[in-house]
């Protein structure tokens, strides 16, 4: 269990939100996949198809579901804010050893509820918030 306390996350969120946009930031996608039914991974990329192919090659989980990517104006900022909001909303943020690639993945979230509800009510909602506040 590596979910951090709410007050820590709220402070992190405010501080990240106040930070000016980095010159390295720019348009791209937030991508989401679910491994083994309940491990939600959210990341960002300039090129969704390439990143998805990399994941599937380097960490070939046989039970992976890709969700539709979300286009964002500032992918680094959107990802950072989405990760904090998802951590606030999640049940757990495990750091588990992955048998498929032998690494420990970060920014993986487990939520209460079934996949459709989690996608509609939590993931899409928080991603929308994390991207809409950025202009």
- Shortest Å distance, C-beta 97 to Zn ion: 9
The minimum distance between CB 42 and Zn ion, in angstroms, equals 15
In this structure, how many other beta carbons lie within 10 angstroms of the beta carbon of residue 118?
A: 20
52 touches Zn ion (CB under 5 A): no
Binding residue for Zn ion (CB under 5 A) from 16, 64, 73, 100? Answer: 100
Contacts of 123 (CB under 8 A, 6+ apart): 32, 40, 42, 67, 86
Euclidean distance between CA atoms 126 and 11, whole angstroms: 17
Q: Which residue has the tokens 């969704």?
A: 48
- Least distance between Zn ion and beta carbon 41 (Å): 9
Interface with Zn ion (CB under 5 A), residue from 67, 98, 124, 129: 98
Q: Which stretch binds Zn ion (CB under 5 A): 67-75, 92-100, 111-119, 125-133?
A: 92-100
Please name the residue ranges forming H helices in the chain: 6-18, 48-58, 75-89, 115-117, 124-132
66 with 92: CB under 8 angstroms? no
Residues 5-44: x where in contact with Zn ion by CB under 5 A, - otherwise, as a string:
----------------------------------------
59 binds Zn ion (CB under 5 A): yes
b/e per residue 81-100 (b: at least 16 CB within 10 A): bbbbbbbbbbeebbeeeeee
Q: Could you tell me which stretch among 1-9, 18-26, 63-71, 91-99 binds Zn ion (CB under 5 A)?
A: 91-99
Q: State in angstroms the smallest separation of the CB of 39 from Zn ion.
A: 10
């Amino acid at each position: 269990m590596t979910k951090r306390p709410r007050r820590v996350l709220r402070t992190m969120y405010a501080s990240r939100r106040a930070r000016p946009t980095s010159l390295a930031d720019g348009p791209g996608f937030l991508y989401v996949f679910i491994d083994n039914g309940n491990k939600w991974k959210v990341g960002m990329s300039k090129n969704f198809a390439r990143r998805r192919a990399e994941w599937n090659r380097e960490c070939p989980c046989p039970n992976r579901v890709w969700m539709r990517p979300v286009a964002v104006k500032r992918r680094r900022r959107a990802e950072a804010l989405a990760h904090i909001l998802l951590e606030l909303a999640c049940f757990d943020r495990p750091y588990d050893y992955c048998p498929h690639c032998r690494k420990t993945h970060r920014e993986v979230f487990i939520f209460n509820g079934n996949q459709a509800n989690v996608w509609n009510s939590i993931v899409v909602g928080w991603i929308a918030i994390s991207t809409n506040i950025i202009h």
